[in-house]
């Protein structure tokens, strides 16, 4: 399942409390292929993320069909590690 991971541009931040890293690490651990889409740090600059997902928080997973998935990063990572990413209720892309 190829997906896009929309995350902050601070890709060097790799500690367990960082939301973007938490989800990226879970994808890596499960061997899920993804395209990394680095976005702006400032929320005020995240207009494209808001257009895509309806909100301005990272991380966001975008599926090949255009649907998006966003929860708290711990919940996202848990779902990924449980092998249930494909079971996400995927509302269609906003806009």
pTM summary value: 0.87
Fold designation for 3-87: Glutaredoxin (3.40.30)
Cα 60 from Cα 71, distance rounded (Å):
8
Strands 60-63, 34-39: pairing is unpaired
pLDDT tens-digit map of 45-70: 999 999 999 999 999 999 999 999 99
Q: Where are the domains of the chain?
A: 3-87
pLDDT tens-digit map of 16-51: 788 999 999 999 999 999 999 999 999 999 999 999
């Amino acid at each position: 399942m190829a997906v896009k991971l929309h995350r902050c541009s601070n890709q060097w931040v790799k500690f367990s409390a960082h939301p973007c890293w938490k989800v990226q690490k879970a994808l890596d651990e499960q061997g899920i292929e993804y395209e990394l889409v680095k976005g702006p740090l400032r929320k005020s600059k995240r207009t494209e993320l808001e257009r895509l997902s309806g909100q301005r928080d990272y991380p966001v997973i975008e599926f090949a069909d255009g649907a998006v998935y966003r929860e708290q990063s711990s919940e996202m990572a848990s779902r990924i590690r449980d092998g249930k990413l494909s079971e996400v209720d995927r509302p269609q892309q906003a806009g």
